[in-house]
A and B are shown apart, each in its own frame.
Chain A
Amino acid sequence: MRSFRKTNFLRNTIIQAVLLMIFWLLLSGHYDLMHISFGIFSVLLVIIINYPLRRHLFAMEEQSDALKLSLLRLIFYIPWLLWQIVISSVQVALVVLHPKCPIDPALLRFRTRLGNLSSKVILGNSITLTPGTITLEIEKDEFLVHALMDISSTGIIDGTLPGQVAKLYQRRPEQVLGDVEVIKTTAGL
């Protein structure tokens, strides 16, 4: 197990170095000895600075979890998310430019049974990008979400967003969302 981890770590370091080098070559656009040696020096520096971060258990254990994600679904998920960003921006623009300013902020607390960290990160980022909602806090399985407008109009309660994230991990939508609670007063916080 230990040696497996060690070779894994080495392999990941090499992959990271190669990716960083490609990134450097792409950004610099000069392919002479001086610029490439600057690039190699920078890549080494980045890897040395990143070393303590990657020793952290978080990165090691989550690696296998992140691979459970279905790549085919991701291809469909990203355009859907981009479209949601367009809708949400237009919605915010309408509210901001509306003379009466029809906002009705509320907080939303719910539980997920997604389990792994990377899926929670994707869910949190997606909530922030989809219309009218921002992820305020993720405490273990509990999400706290701030909604700008009427909550029923957002994609969280009617189940479109949890459905999409569930599909991404090949799970049922019920596992994504549960125990929904709406808070509309300061006392309820």
Chain B
Amino acid sequence: MITNILAITAVVSGAFFLIVGSIGLIRLPDFYSRNHATGKSDTLGIMLVIFGLILLEGFSLNSAKLFFAFIFVFLTNPTGTHALTNAALNSGLKPWFRKNTGKGDGACTGK
């Protein structure tokens, strides 16, 4: 019973962070800041979902597989984020700064 509640809480909060990552992808102004949303919230979101599923599954072969997925997400997500931003930097994309817009702190728009 308690494991079920814990597992459901973990999966639901994981889904919340995945949604936040998607909203950030739309709201934030430029490529680099959008990568913050996908690189961080999504890492935690996926890890929470997998953690909840491990709790539901108990100690079995399937949990071991899920645990491997957990480790690979933990290792590859930051690497992938770095690869994307590094490629953008090398191809000459300039980051967005607050000063350039002259709007002070308004809405986040890159235009």
Contacts and interface: CB of A to CB of B under 8 A. Distances in A.
Interface of A: 23, 26-27, 29, 85-86, 88-89, 92-93, 95-97, 100-107, 124-125, 128-129, 132, 134-137, 144, 146, 148, 184-186, 189
B89 A136 contact: yes
B13 to A, nearest CB: 10
Nearest to A86: B44
B20 interface: yes
Interface of B: 16-17, 20-21, 23-24, 27-30, 32-33, 35-37, 39-41, 43-45, 47, 61, 64-65, 68, 75, 78-79, 81-82, 85-86, 89-90, 94-100, 105-108
Given A96-B23, A96-B24, A185-B100, A89 B85 contact: no
B17 A100 contact: no
A102 to B, nearest CB: 6
A146 B23 contact: no
B97 A92 contact: no
Given A88-B40, A92-B24, A96-B37, A104 B98 contact: yes
A132 B89 contact: no
B25 to A, nearest CB: 9
Contact of A103 (B33, B41, B100): B33
Contacts of B16: 93
Residue picked from B40, B43, B99, most chain A C-beta under 10 Å: B40
A89 B100 contact: no
A129 B85 CA distance: 14
A148 B61 contact: no
20 contacts: A89-B20, A92-B36, A92-B40, A93-B16, A93-B41, A96-B20, A96-B27, A96-B28, A100-B107, A101-B28, A105-B30, A105-B33, A105-B95, A105-B98, A129-B78, A134-B35, A134-B39, A137-B86, A148-B36, A185-B99
Given A144-B89, A146-B32, A129 B27 contact: no
Contacts of B82: 124-125, 128, 134-136
A166 to B, nearest CB: 20
The 10 lowest CB-CB distance pairs between A and B, nearest first, are: A101-B108, A89-B44, A128-B78, A96-B24, A93-B20, A148-B36, A125-B78, A88-B40, A146-B32, A89-B41
A137 B89 contact: yes
B97 A103 contact: no
A54 B106 CA distance: 52
A105 B23 contact: no
